[in-house]
Amino acid sequence: MTRTSPQQIQELSPQRVYSVLRSRPGGLSPVEVSERLHDVGRNTFEVIDRWKLVRSFSKQFTNFFTILLMVSATICFVAHSLNPGESMNILGWALTVVALLNAFFSFIQEYRAERAMEALKKFLPQQVEVERDGRLTKIVATDIVPGDVLLLAEGDKISADARIVEARGLLVNNAPLTGEAAPCPLNHNPCKKRLIESDNIAFAGCSVIRGSGRAVVFATGLHTEFGRVAHLSQAIKREPSPLEKETAHMVRVLTLIAMSMGLGFFLYGVTQGRPLWVNLVFMMGIIVANVPEGLLPTFTLSLAMGSLRMARKNVLVKSLSAVEALGAIHVICSDKTGTLTENRLTITELVEPLTGSPCGEDDIRSLLSFALAASEVHESDKGLTGDPLDVAVAQKIIRSGDTLAPIQNTIEHHFVFDVNKRRSAGIINRGGKRFFVVKGAFEAIRPMLGTIALPTGEGGQKAGRRPADQKNLNRAAEVMADMAGRGLRVIALAWKELDGSYKPGNFTEKEQKELEKALNLASFIGIEDPLRAEVPQAVEKCHRAGIEVLLITGDHPATARAIAAKSRIVAEGEKERQIITGDILAGLNEDGLVARIEQGCRVFARTTPEQKMKIIDALQRMGKIVAMTGDGVNDSPALKAADVGIAMGRQGTDVARESAQIILLDDNFASIVAGIEEGRTVFANIKKFTNYVLVSNGPEILPYLLYILFPVPLALNVIQILSIDLGTDIIPSMALGQEPPDNETMNRPPRSRNQGLLTPALICHSYLFLGLLEGLWSLGLFFLVLHNGGWRFGDELAGHDQLYRSAMGIALATILLMQIGNLLGRRFRRRSGLDPGIFANRLLLLGIIIQIVFSWATLYFPPLQKILNTGPVSISVYCLAWLGILLIFGADYLRKRLLLSRENRG
Instruction: Please report, as a single letter, which amino acid is at residue 29.
Output: S
Helix (H), strand (E) at residue 588: none
Which stretch of 104-113, 188-197, 840-849 has the lowest confidence by average pLDDT?
A: 104-113
pLDDT of residue 239: 65
Query: Are 303 and 323 contacting, i.e. CB atoms less than 8 angstroms apart?
Result: yes
Of 375, 365, 369, 367, the closest CA to residue 413 belongs to 375
**Residues whose CB is less than 8 angstroms from the CB of residue 885 and which lie 6 or more positions away in sequence, other chains included:** 817, 818, 820, 821
Q: pLDDT band at residue 595, thresholds of 50, 70 and 90? A: very high
pLDDT of residue 816: 97
Of 289, 254, 285, the closest CA to residue 269 belongs to 285
Cα(459)–Cα(444) distance, integer angstroms: 34
Q: How far is CA 582 from the centre of its chain?
A: 25
Cα(99)–Cα(332) distance, integer angstroms: 35
Cα(541)–Cα(660) distance, integer angstroms: 23
Average of per-residue pLDDT across 475-479? 92
pLDDT of residue 43: 86
pLDDT tens digits for range 526-548: 998 888 888 999 999 999 999 99
3-class DSSP assignment, residue 710: coil
pLDDT of residue 49: 59
Better pLDDT: 729 or 649: 729
Alpha helix (H) residue ranges in 272-313: 276-290, 295-312
Instruction: Please report, as a single letter, which amino acid is at residue 160.
Output: A
Q: Is 632 left (phi over 0), alpha (psi -120 to 50) or beta?
A: beta
pLDDT of residue 616: 93
Better pLDDT: 546 or 100: 546
| Whether residue 2 has pLDDT greater than 70 | no
Average of per-residue pLDDT across 41-46? 78
pLDDT tens digits for range 828-884: 988 888 887 788 889 999 999 999 999 999 999 999 999 899 999 999 999 999 999
Better pLDDT: 502 or 897: 897
Cα(511)–Cα(514) distance, integer angstroms: 5
Of 849, 631, 833, the closest CA to residue 731 belongs to 849
| Whether residue 826 has pLDDT greater than 50 | yes
Average of per-residue pLDDT across 293-314? 78
Cα(591)–Cα(6) distance, integer angstroms: 34
Of 630, 686, 676, 680, the closest CA to residue 653 belongs to 630
Cα(83)–Cα(577) distance, integer angstroms: 76
Cα(633)–Cα(771) distance, integer angstroms: 53
**pLDDT averaged over every residue in the chain:** 84
Query: Are 152 and 526 contacting, i.e. CB atoms less than 8 angstroms apart?
Result: no
pLDDT tens digits for range 731-785: 999 899 888 888 778 888 888 777 777 788 898 999 999 999 999 999 999 999 9
pLDDT tens digits for range 125-168: 467 889 998 888 888 888 999 999 999 987 788 989 999 999 98
pLDDT tens digits for range 365-406: 889 999 999 888 877 666 787 778 888 899 898 888 888 888
| Whether residue 285 has pLDDT greater than 80 | no
Average of per-residue pLDDT across 260-284? 78
Sign of CA dihedral 61, 66, 72, 76: negative
Percent of the chain at pLDDT exceeding 90? 33
Q: How many other β-carbons are positioned within 10 Å of the β-carbon of residue 201?
A: 27
pLDDT of residue 92: 79
Instruction: Please report, as a single letter, which amino acid is at residue 710.
Output: F
| Whether residue 280 has pLDDT greater than 90 | no
Query: Are 887 and 822 contacting, i.e. CB atoms less than 8 angstroms apart?
Result: no
- CB burial of 260-276 (b: ≥16 within 10 Å; e: otherwise) equals ebbeebbeebeeeeeee
| Whether residue 460 has pLDDT greater than 60 | no
pLDDT of residue 196: 82
φ, ψ dihedrals at 240, nearest 5°: -60, 150
pLDDT of residue 390: 87
pLDDT of residue 741: 82
What's the per-residue H, E or C state across 795-862? CCCCCCCHHHHHHHHHHHHHHHHHHHHHHHHCCCCCCCCCCCHHHHCHHHHHHHHHHHHHHHHHHHCH
* Cα-based distances in Å from 870 to 29, 338, 543, 774, 860: 85, 64, 57, 19, 9
| Whether residue 204 has pLDDT greater than 60 | yes
3-class DSSP assignment, residue 536: helix
Better pLDDT: 284 or 15: 15
Bridge partner residues of 378 (DSSP): 385
Bridge partner residues of 385 (DSSP): 378
Average of per-residue pLDDT across 497-501? 78
Cα(746)–Cα(540) distance, integer angstroms: 11
Cα(526)–Cα(480) distance, integer angstroms: 9
Cα(886)–Cα(313) distance, integer angstroms: 39
**Long-range CB pairs of 197-202, under 8 A, 24+ apart, other chains included:** 198/10, 199/419, 200/10, 200/163, 200/164, 200/167, 201/9, 201/10, 201/161, 201/162, 201/163, 201/164, 202/150, 202/152, 202/158, 202/161, 202/162, 202/163, 202/164, 202/172
pLDDT of residue 4: 44
Q: pLDDT band at residue 459, thresholds of 50, 70 and 90? A: very low
Query: Are 289 and 701 contacting, i.e. CB atoms less than 8 angstroms apart?
Result: yes
pLDDT of residue 505: 66
Bridge partner residues of 548 (DSSP): 331
pTM over 0.85: no
What is the gyration radius of the CA atoms in the chain, in angstroms? 36
Query: Are 793 and 712 contacting, i.e. CB atoms less than 8 angstroms apart?
Result: yes
| Whether residue 47 has pLDDT greater than 60 | no
Of 314, 101, 296, the closest CA to residue 734 belongs to 296
Bridge partner residues of 439 (DSSP): 424, 493
Average of per-residue pLDDT across 455-459? 49
Average of per-residue pLDDT across 233-238? 58
Instruction: Please report, as a single letter, which amino acid is at residue 708.
Output: I
| Whether residue 673 has pLDDT greater than 90 | no
Of 859, 847, 774, 845, the closest CA to residue 808 belongs to 859
pLDDT of residue 125: 43
pLDDT of residue 304: 76
Query: Are 411 and 396 contacting, i.e. CB atoms less than 8 angstroms apart?
Result: no
Q: pLDDT band at residue 292, thresholds of 50, 70 and 90? A: confident
pLDDT of residue 399: 87
pLDDT tens digits for range 334-358: 888 777 888 778 898 999 999 888 8
Better pLDDT: 224 or 786: 786
pLDDT tens digits for range 686-695: 889 999 999 9
Query: Are 627 and 172 contacting, i.e. CB atoms less than 8 angstroms apart?
Result: no
Query: Are 262 and 68 contacting, i.e. CB atoms less than 8 angstroms apart?
Result: no
Helix (H), strand (E) at residue 149: strand 149-153
Cα(176)–Cα(653) distance, integer angstroms: 7
3-class DSSP assignment, residue 229: helix
Candidate ranges 213-222, 494-503, 634-643, 644-653; pick with highest mean pLDDT: 213-222
Cα(341)–Cα(530) distance, integer angstroms: 5
